[in-house]
Amino acid sequence: MIPRAHFIKSTYRNNPFLDALTIQRIERLKETDPQAWQVYGLGERAISRDNVFTFDEQEIPKEAKLMSMGMDFGFTNDPTAFVEVWAQGDDVWIRERIYRTDMTNQDIGRELKNLNIDRRDIIYCDSAEPKSIEELRRMGWNVRPADKGKDSVNAGIQLMKTFKLHVEPSSTNLIKELRNYKWTKDKDGRNLNKPVDAFNHAIDASRYAIFSKVGKPNHGKYHLR
């Protein structure tokens, strides 16, 4: 009797079209995100986890270099969040610099000056706020809209998961967000591939910074400034 179906299991190792950088990213998941490694590296189902990210609290080492900066705009109910992302090899450290409500664009500009942010450094901001970006640019800040596209939230999350994620201990609001940033669930309590839209302001700023800097073809040539 001829079987009606065949089960074929393949992984990235069976894909002849993957470039070396993509293979390196996938194999990095063994250390940075065992759940994602199960799926993308081994081609298996992963055990569900509620939290989107795993991380630890760690001071930024002197050897790390500033990779990028990101900003998520807010006002009355949501805070404006501004972060720095530092990197060394496959490790990234995130430092929260601003996390505050009721900030006008003028307030943001003054606070960036108080923080001694270099006006030459690029700050990737939420592209849904072109007016705010333009106002900050006219104040002399090197702000740019973050790279976005189809399914950019999940794409940014998956890219962040390829790094070992550390948060500076003083970044209390970001730490609180990461501890509470979870996947949505279906009616049966199973995790869906979509994060809950909450506890994500400093996380979004981090995602803008990382994805806009390294989520591009050939980014390895200019990974760090």
pLDDT at 222 over 70: no
pLDDT score, position 223: 41
| Residue of 92, 98, 101 lying closest to 168 (CA atoms) | 92
User: In the chain, which ranges are E strands?
Assistant: 56-57, 65-72, 80-88, 91-100, 123-125, 143-145, 164-167, 183-185, 191-195
Q: What is the pTM of this model?
A: 0.76
pLDDT at 224 over 60: no
For 75, residues 6+ apart whose C-beta sits below 8 A from its C-beta are 101, 102, 103
Tell me the pLDDT band of 29, cut-offs 50, 70 and 90: confident
Q: Which residues pair with 162 in a beta bridge?
A: none
* pLDDT tens-digit readout, 160-181: 999 999 999 999 999 999 999 9
* pLDDT tens-digit readout, 75-88: 999 999 999 999 99
pLDDT score, position 225: 43
- The arithmetic mean of pLDDT across residues 121-147, rounded, is 96
Tell me the pLDDT band of 191, cut-offs 50, 70 and 90: confident
pLDDT score, position 221: 41
Range from 5-9, 86-90, 189-193, 220-224 carrying the lowest mean pLDDT: 220-224
Rounded (10°) angle between helices 201-214 and 152-160: 80
Structural domains for the chain: 18-47 (no CATH), 52-219 (3.30.420.280)
